[in-house]
A = this chain, B = another copy of it.
Amino acid sequence: MPDTHASGFAYPNLFGKKVPAPAPRWGGNAKYNFIGGHNDRELIPIEGLIEATASVLRREGRELALYSLAQGPQGYIGLRKFVADKLGRWRGIKGSPDDVLITSGSGQAIDLINQVLLEPGDTVILEEFTYQGYLNKLKRLGVNMVSAPLDDDGIRIDALGSILADLKAKGVTPKYICTTATIQNPTGSIMPLDRRKQLLALAAEYGVPIFEDECYSDLTWGAIDAPPALYALDPKRVVHIGSFSKTLAPALRLGYVMADWEFMSRMVAIKTSGDSGTGALEQMVVAEYFSKHFEDHVNALSKQLQGKLDTMVEAVEREFGTHVEMWKPKGGIFLWMKLPDEIDVRKLVQPTLKAGVAFNPGPEWAVDGDAAKSRLRLCFGLTTRQEIEEGVALFAKVCYEETGIPPQSGNVRR
């Protein structure tokens, strides 16, 4: 009989050469958790979701017996209708449910776009500071990343023009320009309409598609009217993705893509060969709830987030004073900031974590990591106002202990 008492899996010698290092056992979240894209616990609409579940299951629940509810690989028709309708009303996009693909989180949407377009050695253009998920996925794919500088209105058109011209001179056509034009991640800017048109004209001139990620665009805090989505302005040259993680709940895994069918049909083929559909219960419940309550829910959430941002900005100003530069966002859940050049925030990760504070170091949110060594991102979605105040004070205290900045004036400061 085989020996079942040997320690560990018997054949680690058979692991593939590219297998990653083992994951650690899960260690829990920090008390003052400013990382990632968590949401506000108080704003999860428990009773609304329960009511939506009862309603949609009594009407259509028997169809759960069929893969993808027998509605095909693009997803639950009720959710595709909601997405097409919402994007029409909120983002100026003309489209039908047939133009929508529901994905298992926007992460799957990113993977599908990459799988349609990218091969190792290809080049893409990204915003200089951008979502860590893009960077990690592109590194694994062996793709060259070119950084496009940002200002307070998003990608700088002059700089992008030079980049495209340089690449063209080298015979390189980038596979896409990736932008979070509406609530830039992490700076929180919104690209004005004029610049959107300039961006599209430049992309068309050089024959490069735009990959537009609007994961945060529903959280523009009511008062601010964002210009139409890039996809609304040029649907043949833009692939558009979004998510329900930020507007409802990140533990649900639902995102979506809108794209021309010539592009979409390739994504559908890849998705079908890789999974057997996106979770239908979550699709049904979200469609049912948001078809009735989207506007109310997002307005309440935006108001709550805006208040938390104010608390965080005040706390950072109080604790760091002139030793910090902040990009005050026009929506979303993140505050992006810069400490003095002599501070490398990567060296603060472990000491702050030990004190119970977790933050995202800038280098993980930048195409050129070293150049972002003094920057960091704080999420204000999850923590309460009191936790924001306590956590930022604790962060400043550890920062001072490690770097001497910001100076603490003894019993004058708290």
Question: What residues of chain A have their CB less than 8 Å away from a CB belonging to chain B?
Answer: 1-4, 6, 8-12, 14-26, 28-29, 36-44, 46, 49-50, 53-54, 57-58, 61-74, 98, 104-105, 107-108, 111, 115-119, 122, 136, 140, 173, 175, 197, 200-201, 203-204, 207-209, 233-237, 245, 249-254, 259-263, 265-266, 268-270, 272-282, 285, 381-382
Cβ contacts under 8 Å, A203 to chain B: 2
- Are A382 and B65 in contact (CB-based, < 8 A)? yes
In the complex, what distance in Å separates the CA atom of A298 from the CA atom of B224?
Answer: 53
Contacting residue for A119 out of B11, B16, B40, B279, CB 8 A: B16
Contacting residue for A17 out of B2, B53, B119, B275, CB 8 A: B119
With contact pairs A105-B276, A251-B281, A275-B105 given, residues A38 and B16 touching in the complex (Cβ less than 8 Å): no
Contacting residue for A259 out of B1, B9, B23, B118, CB 8 A: B9
Q: Taking the nearest CB of chain B, how far is it from the CB of A203, in angstroms? A: 8
Cβ contacts under 8 Å, A262 to chain B: 8-9, 12, 22
- Are A62 and B36 in contact (CB-based, < 8 A)? no
In the complex, what distance in Å separates the CA atom of A318 from the CA atom of B197?
Answer: 69
In the complex, what distance in Å separates the CA atom of A233 from the CA atom of B10?
Answer: 14
Other contacts beyond A9-B237, A64-B251: 10, CB < 8 A: A1-B200, A2-B203, A9-B236, A19-B270, A26-B74, A54-B54, A65-B250, A66-B251, A245-B276, A252-B280
- Are B269 and A21 in contact (CB-based, < 8 A)? yes
Cβ contacts under 8 Å, A66 to chain B: 29, 38-39, 41, 250-251, 382
In the complex, what distance in Å separates the CA atom of A253 from the CA atom of B278?
Answer: 7
- Are B44 and A65 in contact (CB-based, < 8 A)? yes
- Are A65 and B38 in contact (CB-based, < 8 A)? yes
- Are A204 and B2 in contact (CB-based, < 8 A)? yes
- Are B67 and A38 in contact (CB-based, < 8 A)? yes
- Are B36 and A46 in contact (CB-based, < 8 A)? no
With contact pairs A9-B262, A71-B26 given, residues A15 and B104 touching in the complex (Cβ less than 8 Å): no
